Structure 1
C-alpha cells in the first residue's frame, strides 16, 4: 500500500490556494492604490473609495442587485424547500419523472437559452395580456428565482433523505398533523440546508449577468451589468474598491452563517437535561 506523501499534499494544497486567493489579495491591495493605472503602484490612498461613494450609477445598481438578491433568496428557499421535500418524501407518483426533470432542467440548460426563452415569453405576454408592460425588477426576479429554485431543491432533497424519521413518526403518533410535523420537526432539522440554499441563491442572483441582460429594462440595470459595461472600456480602479467591499461583506456573512450553524449543531448534539 502506497503511503500518501504529506509534504506533497501540503504543497499541492498551498499551490491551489495560491492560485485561488492571490488574485483576490492583489485586488484588495490595489484598491488602496492612488494611481489611475490599476497595475502600477504609487502610494496608499482611499481615493477610489471616495470616488465610489460619489458614483451614483454604481451605488444605485448595487442597491438594486441587493434588493433582487434578497427577494430571490427568500422566494427560492420557500419554493425550493417544498420542491425538495416532494422529491425526497412523496415517492414515485404519476408524473414524477417529468416533475424531477423540470426541477433539474435549469441546472443543465445554458443561461443564454433560459434568458431568450423568458424574454420571448414576457414579450408575448405583454402583447396578449398587456402584462408585463415592460421588463424590469420583477422580470429579473422571476428569472433568478427560476434558476435558484433548482439548487435549493437539490440541497434540501439531499438533506431530507439523510434524516432519521423517528422523531417525525413519534410526533405523528402523538397526534401532530403532517403539516405541524413539517414546521416543528423537519424544518429545524434541515435548517443548515436552508441556510446553505439561501446563501447560494443570494450569491447566484447577485452574480448573475446573462439572465439580467435579457430581462432588464430602462432603470433596472443591475451591478454586474454596470461592471461589465465599464470593464469592456478598460480596467477602472473603482472596480477594485467595489470588489473589496463585496469581499468583506461576503466574508462576514459566511463567518456569521458558519457560526450560527455550528452553534445550532452543538445544541442538537447536547444531551437533553
Structure 2
C-alpha cells in the first residue's frame, strides 16, 4: 500500500508540475521561431527580448503595482476584519462568515460584471475617471479580502484569548499588547494571506478584463497576444514570476521554521 501511495503521489506531482518544467525549459530555447515542440539549444535570447518589449513591461508594471497595493490593503483590512469577527457572538459570526465566503464561490464572471456596473454607475453619480487603475485595484481588493480573512481566522482561534489581557495586566497599553503579543501570534496567517492575495491578483484575468478599461495587465496582454501568436517571451516572463514566488515561499518557510525552533527552545529548557 505504501508503494502504491508513493506512486500515486508522484503521478499527482508530475501532472501538476510537468507543464511548468516544460515552460522553464523552453524559455531557454535558442530556436529563432520560438518553437514550443523542438528544443534546439540553450540561449538567453528570449530573456533579452523580454526586457526590450516596452508594451509587455508596461503590462507587467501595472500588474505588479496592482498586486502589491491590493495585497497590502486587503491584508490590513482582512486582519482587522478577522479580529472583529472573532469577537462577535456565534450567530452573527456565522452570518458574517457566510457573507465573507460568498465572493469565493461566486463565479468570477458574475463578480467582474457586477463590479464593472458598480464602477460605471459610481462614475456617473459622482463623476471622475472611467475604468482604469483605480477600479482594478478596488476590484482586486474585493476578491482578495475573503482569502486574507480565512487565512488569519485559524491563527486567532489557536491563540489563547487571554494573552492580550495578561499583557495589559503586566503594564502594556492595548495598542502595545496588540503589536507585541497578538500580532506575532497571528503573523504566519497574515503572511499566508498576503502571499495568497498577491498571487491571486497577479493571476486574475476575468475580473480584470471587465474592470480594466484601457489599462492592460499581464493576463489581459497575454490574452490579446493569443489572437495572433504567443511569443516565447511569455515563457521567460512566466519563469521569472515562478522563480520570484518560489523565493518568497522559501523565505516565509525558513522564517516560520526559525520561529518554531525559537519557541520550542525555551520550553525544552524548562
Calculate the TM-score normalised by the size of structure 2. Answer: 0.92
RMSD: 1.8
* 1:167-220, Cα deviation, whole Å (9 max, x unpaired): 2231233354444322221110011001100000000001110111111122x2
| CA positional deviation for 1:98 | 4.4
* Corresponding position: 1:154 with 2:150: yes
1:142 match: 138
Question: 1 CA distance for matches of 2:118 and 2:94?
Answer: 25
Question: 1 CA distance for matches of 2:43 and 2:18?
Answer: 21
* 1:142-164, Cα deviation, whole Å (9 max, x unpaired): 01111111011111111101112
8 A contact 1:38–1:235 mirrored in 2: no
1:38 match: 36
- What are structure 2's unaligned runs of at least 5 residues? none
8 A contact 2:63–2:202 mirrored in 1: yes
* 1:4-50, Cα deviation, whole Å (9 max, x unpaired): x2211111111111111111111111111122222122222222111
8 A contact 1:84–1:155 mirrored in 2: no
Matches within 5 A, 1:1-273: 5-35=1-31, 36=33, 37-92=35-90, 96-131=93-128, 133-218=129-214, 220-271=215-266
| CA positional deviation for 1:100 | 2.8
8 A contact 2:203–2:219 mirrored in 1: yes
Calculate the TM-score normalised by the size of structure 1. Answer: 0.91
8 A contact 2:86–2:93 mirrored in 1: no
- What are structure 1's unaligned runs of at least 5 residues? none
8 A contact 1:38–1:236 mirrored in 2: no
Aligned residues: 266
SS of the counterpart of 1:135?
A: coil
8 A contact 1:84–1:153 mirrored in 2: yes
